[in-house]
Amino acid sequence: AWMGLLLICGASSCSQKASPKLTSQAADASVAKVFPHKMPTEKPDFPMSAAMERMFDYPAPRVHDNELFSQFKYTRLEGFDYHGGDGTVSRRDPSRPILVNGTYYIWYTKRDTKVPPIGWDKAAEVTDEIPSTDWDLCDIWYATSKDGITWAEQGVAVARPPKPSPGWRSVCTPDILVWKGKYYLYYQAFNEPSGLKGDWCPVSVSYADSPNGPWTHGGDEVIPFGKKGEWDQDATHDPFPIVYKGKIYLYYKAAYNKWPDDRKHYAVAHGLVTATDPLGPFTKHPLNPVLNSGHETTYFPFKGGVAALAIKDGNERETIQYSEDGVNFHIASVVSLTPTAAAPYAADMFTNTSDGRGITWGLCHFVNAGAPKKGYSIIARFDCDLSLDNNDPRFKDTGV
């Protein structure tokens, strides 16, 4: 019946919507037109439904062969004290780990306040000691580890500067860049409690000769806000630098369309700025935004291009995407139980590679937002196989 329909359709005016292939195929009734029992590895030359056509647009039509598909495994970290989970201590938004002389270093948002956050809708009621959100009244701390599981908290890396210097209210959500033997931390610098008007803040930078510091303030508003009316006019979040094509490619997020009177209809997108000096100036890519989904930023060199995790928020949430040029991203896989605020380790994040090898682990956070008046977050480890040098079936096997 299917063949018959095809023939009738091909011979009549209803073929207008059909692809030319369908029409010529239909004319040649001697060619088998059935999808085989074994999934083809190459795109077959016969008519297919839109869904099956699309399978061949992925890096591999069989998900197990898709280098940019993985499942995720999570491990609790050792070494961090959370005051018994009473909400007064929080660690979140970790940087990517970097390996220096056999030791991993990470930087992260740490809040240690007398009381847990009271909620961003109550930002007008906060004081210098009462946080609105989990990332209000925070400093940037760092920790070290030999195995990525047991961590030793080392102390503050970048503290809130005195009022009214940028970031006086909170510094948070750092990520690291290694460039010409020096270390650069990019982070969000709040001049008001988050939630007062929105989650409004620019990005600052500090630098050091050693991952142990000391850190020197290197500049504020390093990612220029958009002009009024543009998507990134008030917020540049989640700065995430990699080295690509000889430059610093700094990805960032803006949560936009989120106003005091219209909080429900917000959208997120990611932009790209580039520079040859870590202290700037940074130039916005003319095609910004470059990713339409993802609450935090996670990018890594992959083959000759750049891969990204789009996790939470947006039509393309829970996807892994790939671009050949760091700018034009396409969905490479759809994933589940994904790491939030993922910060993967890769030895080639800052080596200007044109043959990125991918990632197998990193850090992320879990938010305990469900406990009223006790909100806080923890950092955890994730493992996956988004690497070209690994083929661990635990992360690709979706069957039973």
- Would you tell me which residues interact with ligand AAL (CB under 6 A)? 93, 135, 172-173, 188, 199, 237-238, 295-296, 341
CA distance 383 to 372: 30
Closest CB to ligand AAL among residues 67, 238: 238
Complex with ligand AAL: residue 232 or 238, whichever CB lies closer: 238
- Considering only CA atoms, which of 140, 200, 191 is closest in space to residue 167? 191
Distance in Å, CB of 194 to ligand AAL, minimum: 7
Residue 179 or 366: the one with the smaller Cβ distance to ligand AAL is: 366
Q: Which residue has the tokens 């700065």?
A: 239
| Cβ burial, residue 37 (10 Å; 0-12/13-18/19+) | exposed
Minimum distance between the CB of residue 341 and ligand AAL, rounded to whole angstroms? 5
Whole-number minimum distance, CB 172 to ligand AAL, in Å? 6
Q: Minimum distance from CB of 333 to ligand AAL (Å)? A: 23
Answer yes or no: are the C-beta atoms of 342 and 294 closer than 8 Å. Answer: no
Query: Could you tell me the maximum CA-CA distance found in the chain, to the nearest angstrom?
Result: 80
Between 93 and 232, whose beta carbon lies closer to ligand AAL? 93
CB of 253 to ligand AAL, least distance (A): 6
Strands lying side by side in the sheet with 203-208: 170-179, 182-190, 203-208, 216-219
> Which amino acid is residue 133, in one-letter code?
T
Distances (CA, A) of 353 to 19, 41, 321: 40, 29, 19
Helix then strand count (H, E) for the chain reads 3, 21
Q: 353 or 377: whose CB is closer to ligand AAL?
A: 377
Rounded Cα distance between 400 and 396, Å, is: 12
Residue 314 to residue 298: CA distance in whole angstroms: 15
Q: How far is the CB of 235 from ligand AAL (least distance, A)?
A: 8
Q: Decide: 285 and 271 in contact? Cβ < 8 Å.
A: yes
Q: Nearer Cβ to ligand AAL, position 6 or 222?
A: 222
CB of 363 to ligand AAL, least distance (A): 13
Q: Which is nearer to ligand AAL, 341 or 359 (CB)?
A: 341
What are the angstrom distances between the C-alpha of 255 and each of 221, 236, 397?
A: 17, 8, 35
Shortest Å distance, C-beta 389 to ligand AAL: 30
Residue nearest to ligand AAL (CB): 173
Length of the chain: 400
Residues 6+ apart with CB under 8 A from 228: none
48 versus 123: smaller Cβ distance to ligand AAL? 123
Residue 53: which H helix or E strand, with range?
helix 50-55
